[in-house]
Amino acid sequence: QVQLVESGGGLVQAGGSLRLSCAASGFSISNYDMAWFRQAPGKEREFVSVVTWIGGATRYAESVKGRFIVSRDNAKNTVYLQMNSLKPEDTAVYYCAAARTAAYLTDYQKYPYWGQGTQVTVSS
């Protein structure tokens, strides 16, 4: 019954912004690290950002630092990824993931729960 549903993806020009949402159901995100990963065609899934459930500490991939902001709203059971100054290389399917840890890991293989993904396409 655990479910994560991403939304907010779309087509945007370089330099634009998008805000992704990840709505969780079947569990409370208050005790889970919530992460964002992305996967471009022909590429391995890569870490984007994570916010831990203890203290709300965050971590970002070097490629998105200063441009993306991850946040969580436990009352709404929802996680967000604000993406600014988008670049064509940000084009990918973006996935929301959850793990009951306090380690805010960056390895996608450590996350047991996943959404179906939302497409983000950035045109130049």
Query: pLDDT, tens digit, for every residue of 69-111?
Result: 999 999 999 999 999 999 999 999 999 999 998 788 899 999 9
Q: Name the band, by pLDDT with cuts 50, 70 and 90, for residue 33.
A: very high
Check whether 68 has a pLDDT greater than 90.
Answer: yes
Average pLDDT of the segment spanning 21-26 = 98
CA distances from 83 to 4, 15, 32 (A): 19, 10, 22
Q: Are 69 and 82 in contact (CB under 8 A)?
A: yes
pLDDT at residue 101, as a whole number = 85
CA dist., res. 34 & res. 50, Å (int): 6
Please report, rounded to a whole number, the percentage of residues in the chain having pLDDT higher than 90. 92
Taking phi over 0 as left and psi of -120 to 50 as alpha, with beta for the rest, 18 belongs to beta
